[in-house]
Structure formats: structure tokens, C-alpha cells
Structure 1
Amino acid sequence: MPPTGDSKKVELGAIPEGNLRVNKPVAFTVHMNGARGMLDGKVVAPSGCEDDCFLVPIDEDLWALRFIPRENGIHQVHIRHNGVHIPESPFRVRVGQEGIDPTSVRTLGNGLKECKAGTQADFTVDTRNAGLGTLAVTIDGPSKVSMDCTEVEEGYKVRYTPLAPGDYFIIVKYNGNHIAGSPFKVRCTGTSATGYGEHETSSVIVETVTKQAGQKSQSLPAFRSDAKKVTCKGMGVQKAFLHKQNTFTVNCGDAGNNLLYVSIYGPKGPSDEVFVKHLGRHMYQVNYVLKEKGEYVLVVKWGDEHIPGSPFKVEAS
């Protein structure tokens, strides 16, 4: 809806530019210029998820807006005055490095052509020439799929297991933009598992690392760790709110060196999204989104061992 009346008077201060990073606060000012009423806003990340957005009045004529980006790429900042978008809303804010080129991302693998119900399929997303960014993979089809994404020499390998035959559509985006060929239509054959056949969506999001052509993968080192020394904090290990980003932190600082594994499983299968971010010094932040009410099982492992309390029972409502 175009701005009308007082909404035309409201202006956003300078849009932050340069060196904006994931998990670092981004702040704006909003000038009312004599307009009266309330402001509300939201921030849409490159993957389409909404980030938390805080709008608070400083005085009669000035508001502050703040959000913490969870992904690299272009974020859309929506600001409304009395329910009407202010001029030029939504605003575009880039988080992460310049020079990211989604058109250079390539895919390979039979998992983008065909699959079989109950059997794991896979494909690789080659990000070697794309720079740092946010890789988002969504699979729409007649069943949810069990899906994971792991780092490989060329970029990232996506493995998924469909549970019902039919047509699946695999959407691959880099920093919110479709890569070449996306969405991919994949025909699934085989026999359906009981209780499936309706439209379902599953997704995974990864913050990528820089890959270079000719870069060789290395074997894993011999880790020495003690999962009993890992600690968890946050509401997200006890209770979850539907359609919201639920968060908790995992502190592995005293537990040696290893890899952190997080997964959550509920009444209708795996969660649609689990996002793990390393904050430095073996401190991790985990965000996840749930869409169905019920009891979920949250598994957190440091290497091959469960951390204290895992598996956790999480009630979603």
C-alpha cells in the first residue's frame, strides 16, 4: 500500500553500509517529522525467514530500529506507520561481503533428476566461484524429507530421503537468489509410506565458507574431546514457539576439539530448519523453526557423544 497522509512524512535515517556481519547488531533511526501514530516493522532475510526486529521510540520525533542478521545477503527491512509502508519501504540492506555471485553456483548429481521413496538421494552444490554467502535448499513435495547438508571439496553435498512417490521441487538459492536451473523438478518413484501424500516442505540453510577451484579436501584430524564438559543455555532446549526463531547456545570451550551435531525430530518428522553458527572459541548459537504443535526430541552431540541432557524433550506450542 503506498504511503498516505502523515505516513509520507516519515523518513528512515542513513541506511548502514559496509562491514555488516552476521550476528552483529544493525541499527537505524526513523524520523517522524511531525507525524503521529505508531511504527511497526519486520526484517526478511535472504532465505525468506523473518528476523527479530525491534522498534522503540526515543522521543516524540525519533525512533530507533535494531535487528541482528542471521544470514549473509540482501535483507528487506519493512517499516510501516499506522499500518502503511513509509516511502521507499521495504529497504534493502546488504550483510556480508560484496562480490558474491549466485550465477556462478553450479549443481551436479542424480538427486536433481530422479529419486525413489525410502531411498537416500543426493546432489552437490558447487560454490567454489561464488564467495561467502547463504545457501538455502528447500524441497516441496508429497512428503517431508529427511535432509542434511555437509561440506565437501566442491562446496556442499545435500542428502535427502523422500517418503512418498510423486513430483518434488528442489529450490536452491544463494543469498536469496535462485541459482541456474532452480527450481528443479524431480520425479520420485516407489511405494508411499503410510500417512503421506499431502504437500510438505523441508529446508536447510548453511552459511558457506570460501571455496577455491582446485582446493583439495583433507581427512579429519584425530579429535580429543569430552562431551560431558559441554553446556547448553537458552529457552530453546525446553520450549519452542511455532513459526518463530527459537534459540539456544552451546558452550564447548572446555570440551576439547570436535564437531557439533544438532538435530530435532517431532510428530511429523525432522524440523524444517536447524541453523548452527560458530561464534568463536567453541561457542555456538543454534536457531530452529517449528511449524507443528507437539513434543520434539532435540539431539545435541559433541562428536559421537551426547552432551549432558541430550536428547532433550522440547514442547512446541
Structure 2
Amino acid sequence: MFRVSQEIRLNTSSSAEVTRYCNTTNADSENDCIFGKYQRTPDADAYPTENPLVLVAPELTDPSKVQLLHFPNGAMRVNSEVDFIIKRNGVKGNFEVKAESPSGMTAITPLQLIDPERLRASFQLKEAGLYKIHIKCNSVPLPKSPFIIVSICGEPESNVRKMELPVFKSDASCVTYRGLGLTHISLEEKNEFTVDGSAAGNNMLFVGIFGPKGQCDEVVIKHTGNNVYKITYEVRDPGDYLLVAKWGEEHIPGSPFQLNAI
């Protein structure tokens, strides 16, 4: 065989028949030969025998949009269960959570799909020390990853004396409230309202907000004194919301509140 585009000499003279049977050639005779470039036929094995591969790249990922809900921000005891939620906020792709123990062992944490926007991750702290939680989306680490959890030794939960709640004497119907946060919702802004329980007796205030995609992203309750509370919350998704406010186990007047975010 000759190489691709190799220049070869073809003998087309009348003496070709002679040289065919005799080992004599006249290589210097231009009249006896034609010069040119000839393309050889590719070998059979040069043709593809498999279907071409199509590589699909993941969509562009902006990990800064992803939120971690209920992630522990303090020390936890050994054998405690870590449970938190990953909220996509529109980010598409695959998530991966790895827990690196204080001894250096790394384990993949299984993820449970709650809804298209939220994933739940849970695992148990088996050692005392510093845990590193590596979280990636489409192989891109989230900002501030790895996240740190401190695990400390302590008595088992069954041996810890539990505090009993006192018996409160209160009247939720005497609770008053004010603020625009109970009449309408502004998207991606701080919504505020005030709950005044100074005339309702001693008890605890509970506030929860449920929307189209589950629980509200952020609810902050601040006690300003004399059973007066300032509540701040923020939502990102438009739609109908249900705001529940309880004084102890009883709803305050008007609760649950039906709100709409546009």
C-alpha cells in the first residue's frame, strides 16, 4: 500500500509489456511515465463502526441561588440526627452531599425529594469533633462549602432530664396586632408586623407561614419587651400564603391570615 496523496509513477508506454516480463525499467524516461497524485481508498477499519457519542453538558449553574434550610448552626451531641433541606430556587441539576467525619471518613448522604424545589438530607453524627459537609450542584460547590458542624460528647438523650412546660394562664382573644405584613406581601422584601400580648397573660407566640412551595424562607420573631413581638418575614415566590399566629395553643384574632404575594 502507498500513503495518502503519495506521488507515484505509472508506466503507460508500449514497453510496459516488456518490463512486465523483464526486470528492466527506464526510470529516467519522462515519455514512458505519467506523474500525478492518487488518493488511496481508506482501509475498511478506518470507517466508524460505532454510533457517534453525543456529550450533553449540564445547564449553567448559579450555586449562589441555592438555600439551606434548618441547617444546624450550633454544637450537636454525638448520635444526634442532622436534618436539613436544600432549596433549589430555580437552579436545575443534580445535587451531591458528602459528610466528612472528624476521622477523615467520607460518606455520601442520600437525598430525599420533597417536591421539585426541595431536597432533604439527613445523617447521624457518630463521632465527636468537626464534621465537614460538602455540597455540590452539577459538580460546582455551593458558596461556603464545606459547611461545618461541631459534634460534642454528652449524656444520651434518654438520660437528660426534660423540662416540663409551666401551665400558662392566658387569653388569646386579648392579643392585638398591627402592620402591613398582615394585609399584603411584598416579594423579596422584608415584611413586618407587630403582635401585642401585653393584655393576654403570659404565654408563647408561634408564627408560621405556608406558601405555594411550602414553608416561608425566613421568619424572625423578636421580643421587644412586655409580651410585645416584632415579626419579620421574607418570601420569593408569588402566590397565595397562609399566615398562622398562635398565643400558646390558641389562634390570635384573625388567624389564620390569607395573604397574596404578587
TM superposition score normalised by structure 1: 0.39
Higher strand share: 1
Please report the TM-score for the alignment, with normalisation by the length of structure 2: 0.47
Larger radius of gyration: 2
